[in-house]
Amino acid sequence: MPLITYRKALNEAFAEELTRDESVFLMGEEVAEYNGAYKVTEGLWERFGSKRVVDTPISEAAFLGLGVGAAMMGLRPVVELMFWSFAYVGFDQIINNAGCVRYMSGGLINVPMVIRGPANGGTNVGATHSHTPENFLANTPGLKVVAPATPYDAKGLMISSIRDNDTVCFMENTLLYGDIGEVPEGSYTIPLGVADIKREGTDISFIAHGRAVLTALAAAEILATEHGISAEVVDLRSIRPLDEEAILNSVAKTHRALLVDESKPFCGISSQIATLIAEQAFDELDAPVARVTALDAPAIYSMPLEKLQLPTAERVVAKALTLF
């Protein structure tokens, strides 16, 4: 199987869908002639032309609204945000329009749009460029939220997201764009709402999404070699819909849950999962549900401190050891 980057895996997903379905088009700041700020759309403008790969002005509210309108009229826009941090000026379009139209039209109008781009901290770009808004969006009934950790998942989930009839908020990560993994050629889909056990274990469940999955895997390796503890890593892949069964099955197997989440702890994704476990797996718990999240402060600009703000394998190991 070819080894390609996370960035290339996404690029292949776009090429597959642009070829397969004429209603699919890409747009965003610098996605066309400049090949994308992070080169995720490299070569696509040249191959598919200006009608299918569209550069936009620097106005997220405007082009997100354009995307909603196009989707309502039957097209399948894939809208790039240079950073998910820039989505906030377009929240009215995302939440009030994309998220609510199907409900408010009595199911007559769908908004089959993908909104995508990096949603991560850890790159020394400051508080206003380092948001991880998956919890805001997952809080909105009507929106779907996806956060792949690997190149394989990125391609399969992107193709599913483009084909989905609801708006999917696709959270990428600039720190993962260069990661290399095995990715099949051609088209394949990964259903939204199906988690993946990235590592089997028996003693504790690490539940994570996005890059935190890799942090959890590194921590699991340390726990196995240095402490004889077998950690299972559950990669949610999609946050809404959420694979509750996978979470509950894993907790029922290991009886301990540690949630690893790069977003903030207050009202975060991990809060939701902790609630789920407390409500539905209470009697399976042999220790309190624990979390390792970003430290609860705006993204720290100091590079050494920023590295400590996000979950690290060491923090995960240390927290895990408090549960035994």
Partner 1 sequence: MPEITMPKLSDTMTEGTLLRWCKQKGDKIEIGDLLAEVETDKATMEMESFEEGILTELFVPAGAKVAIGAPIALILGKNETAIAPGTPAQGPAKATAPAAAAPATSPLFAGRSRSAIPGRTGTTSSERIKASPLARKIAASRGLALGGLTGKGTGPGGRIIAADVVNAPLTGAAPAASGAPGIPAIMPTPITGNPETQIPLSNMRQVIAQRLLASKTQIPHFYLSIEIDAAPMVAFRKEFNTTGTKITFNDIVLLATARAAMEKPKVNAAFGNGVIFQYESVNLAVAIAVEDGLVTPVIRDAQKLSLAQVSAAVKDLATRARDKKLKPEEYAGGTITVSNLGAFGIDQFCAIINPPQAAILAVGAIVKKPVVNEHDQIVIGQRLNLTLSGDHRVVDGAVAAEYLGVLRQLLECPSRLLL
Q: Does 296 bind partner 1 (CB under 8 A)?
A: no
- CB nearer to partner 1: pick between 103 and 282: 282
Evaluate whether 241 touches 192 at the Cβ level (below 8 Å): yes
Q: Which of 12, 17, 60, 232 is catalytic?
A: 60
Query: String of b and e for 37-48 (b: at least 16 CB within 10 Å)?
Result: bbebbeebbeeb
| Tokens read off for 98 | 């994309």
What is the closest distance, in whole angstroms, from the C-beta atom of residue 233 to partner 1 in the complex?
20
- Choose the stretch contacting partner 1; rule: CB under 8 A; options: 74-82, 94-102, 278-286, 299-307: 278-286
Q: Of 145, 258, 255, 246, which Cα lies nearest the Cα of 197?
A: 246
Q: Of 211, 172, 191, which Cα lies nearest the Cα of 36?
A: 172
Q: Does 165 bind partner 1 (CB under 8 A)?
A: no
Q: Does 322 bind partner 1 (CB under 8 A)?
A: yes
255 is catalytic: no
- Interface residue with partner 1 among 8, 144, 155, 255 (CB under 8 A) is 255
| Chain centroid, CA 181 distance in Å | 17
Q: Does 324 bind partner 1 (CB under 8 A)?
A: yes
Task: Name the phi and psi angles at 123, rounded to 5.
Answer: -120, 15
Q: Does 318 bind partner 1 (CB under 8 A)?
A: no
- Choose the stretch contacting partner 1; rule: CB under 8 A; options: 1-9, 113-121, 168-176, 247-255: 247-255
Judged by CB under 8 A, how many residues of this single chain contact partner 1? 13
Q: Does 282 bind partner 1 (CB under 8 A)?
A: yes
What is the closest distance, in whole angstroms, from the C-beta atom of residue 283 to partner 1 in the complex?
4
Distance CA 237, CA 316 (A): 19
- Choose the stretch contacting partner 1; rule: CB under 8 A; options: 80-88, 91-99, 181-189, 283-291: 283-291
- Interface residue with partner 1 among 284, 312, 315, 319 (CB under 8 A) is 284
Evaluate whether 154 touches 99 at the Cβ level (below 8 Å): no
Q: Can you say whether the dihedral through the CA atoms of 140, 141, 146, 147 is positive or negative?
A: positive
DSSP 50: T
Q: Can you say whether the dihedral through the CA atoms of 47, 48, 53, 55 is positive or negative?
A: positive
131 is catalytic: no
Q: Which of 12, 29, 129, 306 is catalytic?
A: 129
What is the closest distance, in whole angstroms, from the C-beta atom of residue 272 to partner 1 in the complex?
20
Distance CA 79, CA 30 (A): 11
Residues that bind partner 1 (CB under 8 A): 202, 252-253, 255, 282-287, 322-324
Positions marked catalytic: 60, 129
